Amino acid sequence: GENVEQHPSTLSVQEGDSAVIKCTYSDSASNYFPWYKQELGKGPQLIIDIRSNVGEKKDQRIAVTLNKTAKHFSLHITETQPEDSAVYFCAASGGSSASKIIFGSGTRLSIRP
Amino acid sequence: DTEVTQTPKHLVMGMTNKKSLKCEQHMGHRAMYWYKQKAKKPPELMFVYSYEKLSINESVPSRFSPECPNSSLLNLHLHALQPEDSALYLCASSRGLPGAEAFFGQGTRLTVV
């Protein structure tokens, strides 16, 4: 089955700086890669996603890149703000896990004022 | 509307109690999911319903019993739980197609005493 690894587990950046979170996946047939943001006491919120036929996608301060050959994808947050502080999960779906969303272990992002 | 509604938000139950968690969505999604999330861990898949039929059971103990009465509702019946079952239980839904976005509810915080 699919396995998703995520790094780093914790990340602290100065407000206004950029943050990058990286994930790798094992199943080359996976074709959908969402990113979720989870704030304390809340459910995961879908913030951006990318499909295997696209290399990069942007939405305001957030961007995701995908390298299918290397089987890794990354989340980039620019001009970080205090409200970006949360736990971020990458995930993979499709292939042998078509009906499942397999999550990475999560990254706790803290924005220093 | 991308809302998945879960009730109750919090639940405390004894090991001999029977209780139910409820989940509702009105996005016309045909796949619904139950996930379990322990503190500082990613969500773990428990069950997947596709077109109101159970399609995946991730070897979940029988003290957890899912039910999908119709395409908008998903229940999780709980009986004879153990303290280690205390966790955040998350419901999600998607269109049910490979690569479809999944949206999560806010979860039910369950404490077994």
* Strands A107-112 and A10-14, sheet pairing: parallel
User: Does any CB of chain B come closer than 8 Å to the CB of residue A45?
Assistant: yes
pLDDT at A84 over 90: yes
| Model pLDDT for residues A29-67, shown as the tens digit of each residue | 899 999 999 999 899 999 999 998 889 999 999 999 999
**Which residues in A lie closer than 8 A to residue B109 (C-beta atoms)?**
41
Whether residue A98 has pLDDT greater than 80: no
pLDDT-above-70 percentage for chain B: 97
Q: Which two tokens stand for residue B21?
A: 């968690």
Only one residue has tokens 């502080």, namely: A85
In the structure, what pLDDT confidence band is assigned to residue A95 with cuts at 50, 70 and 90? Answer: confident
Single-letter residue type at A61: R
Percentage above 90 pLDDT, chain B: 91
Given CB atoms, is A42 within the 8 Å cutoff of chain B?
A: yes
Q: What is the pLDDT of residues B44-98, one digit of tens each?
A: 999 999 999 999 999 999 999 999 999 999 999 999 999 999 999 999 999 877 6
Cis amide leading into A82 (omega within 30) = no
Q: Does residue A23 surpass a pLDDT of 90?
A: yes
Confidence tier at A70 by pLDDT (50, 70, 90): very high
CA distance B66 to A50: 31
Residue B42, pLDDT > 80, answer yes
| Cβ contacts of B42 on chain A, cutoff 8 Å | 89, 103-106
Reference B74, options B99, B103, B98, B97; nearest CA is: B103
For residue B2, is pLDDT > 70? no
B102 CB within 8 Å of a chain A CB = yes
Cβ contact (<8 Å) for B98 and A98?
yes
- Beta strands (DSSP E) in B1-113 are 4-7, 10-13, 18-25, 31-37, 44-50, 53-57, 64-70, 73-79, 87-94, 102-104, 108-112
A11 and B CB contact within 8 Å: no
Tokens for A11, please give them.
């990340």
* Mean pLDDT, chain A, integer: 94
Quote the distance between the C-alpha of residue B41 and its chain's center.
17
* Enclosing H/E stretch for A95: none
